[in-house]
Structure 1
């Protein structure tokens, strides 16, 4: 019996098994403020009943959105309701709608831009700790995504690495919570090169990287996507700590993004997916979850 207990303890101490979550993103939009307050407990209860243990609030500031006191109070109410429904909370911080334009700046300007984002995120983290209490928060999410185009050359990554390092350090000072960021691929790097880049960034900063599977955007076919996902989730030393499974089907361009729900049966099949090697399984997003039609518009 003692041996069995020791074996179980050993399994729990493995990082993948101990930390893995089954999470769903919620991307708040200002139009959601018009949803009846009575609907939100039902929305989060549906997520919990669907098997999710964690809600990832993608951002709590997007440009100027959600900066007004009444909007912040609205976010606080939603986060408290999600927590009351039994969901752990990973709090997204700031998101700049112009990030993919501004990341093209020269190195000197880019360093200043990244440092400003890190300071803004640290202040937001302080705010949410005061609002929710440190025990209600399971982690922080950085709202700026890492692509496979801008950072292909090793020499271009120093500013990105410095941003991740600084963000992790400033947020860690707010409490011992993991920090997450996501990345996506579109065939601009070979799968092995992409995996090597993420491994360098993640190991160098301590930030946990989730990779979007690309099934919803469909920039690559299924076989091509499988090569990338396989490369970053290699069990001997995964470059990513989780996979973001896309529940939507993109119908518009990247500049004018629109998407539609999958059929309920398609969505249920997608929800059975799990990240390899005990990684985090994260789904995008709450808007496309079966059972929420009519409650949470896309």
Structure 2
């Protein structure tokens, strides 16, 4: 799940660099999901490298004490930046989280140009996605030994694609994507997670059909709730989310976007709001975006531009 924005205005969507996303099988939409599997995204940035091991260990304990059981590492490579690869500072931070009995979803390669490249026609999407998935698999190979060593505390892999009804408006685009994903799934031993965000381009029924299509492939699917970006009205958001099956997870945005800012800027939600999110009853698996916005005085992860 990069910090994302999905402000929809005049058919332009200010995009996410975030991404998000999973499936836990439940038998009834009336069933309350057990928070034993509560998750949160961590989006690695180079500025995090300066956090001391002691600070990170303390933060890891606090995250565990909150009741968070899994962390989604949004990416382990962003463009040419590999964060030290599988023996560097990011891998060490991941291992500290595992030491606190936190299981990980390990994100693979993320393309900084994804949002620019993916918004195109069906033919060009196929070319781009083929190239992108090749890079995804290369990053998987680079981390495969680490994944094997730490397999008992790895839940699966996160594919840092942010799917959207803005980019996959047509049935042909969504069907082509499904066919590509079906082939990709065969290349991985671990469960795969993927995420969607909504821009209001498709009706609720088609969004539900799309998430059903993705979960039927065997993917673990999460949908961003849009509460932080407020790209859609509250009623619109609830209408979409309420229509989803209980096996589709929800990414809870624990930030509040500053609408007046020219570029993306957001603050953490209040502690009271955060607690209400933790205590909310739902049939959906829940994860949050993101650790950087966790409202804690001891949070060592600075917001971009924060001193």
Taking CA–CA contacts closer than 8 Å with sequence separation of 6 or more, which of the two structures ends up with the larger relative contact order? 2
TM-score (norm 2): 0.81
Shift of 1:47: 0.9
* 1:119 corresponds to which of 134, 151, 169: 134
Shift of 1:39: 1.0
Structure 1 segments unaligned to the other structure (5+ residues): 1-13
Please say if residues 145 and 184 of structure 1, whose CA atoms lie closer than 8 Å, have aligned partners that are also in contact: yes
> Which structure features the higher share of helix residues?
1
After superposition, give the CA deviation of every residue in 1:48-96 in whole Å (9 maximum; x if it has no partner). Answer: 1001110110111111222655x85111101110100110111011111
Aligned to 2:239: 227
Aligned to 1:288: 293
Please say if residues 257 and 264 of structure 2, whose CA atoms lie closer than 8 Å, have aligned partners that are also in contact: yes
Cα distance in 2 between the residues matched to 1:53 and 1:200:
28
SS in 1 for 2:53: coil
After superposition, give the CA deviation of every residue in 1:222-252 in whole Å (9 maximum; x if it has no partner). Answer: 222110101113xxxx5x5211111000115
Aligned to 1:215: 227
Cα distance in 1 between the residues matched to 2:72 and 2:299:
22
Structure 2 segments unaligned to the other structure (5+ residues): 1-23, 27-32
TM-score (norm 1): 0.83
Cα distance in 1 between the residues matched to 2:50 and 2:113:
26
Please say if residues 90 and 141 of structure 1, whose CA atoms lie closer than 8 Å, have aligned partners that are also in contact: yes
Aligned to 1:262: 269
Query: Which is greater in Rg?
Result: 1
Listed as ranges, the matches of 1:59-98 within 5 Å are 59-66=75-82, 68-69=84-85, 73-98=88-113
SS in 2 for 1:296: coil
User: How many pairs are equivalent?
Assistant: 272
SS in 2 for 1:170: coil
Question: Please, which moves more after superposition, 54-63 or 71-80?
Answer: 71-80
Please say if residues 54 and 90 of structure 1, whose CA atoms lie closer than 8 Å, have aligned partners that are also in contact: yes
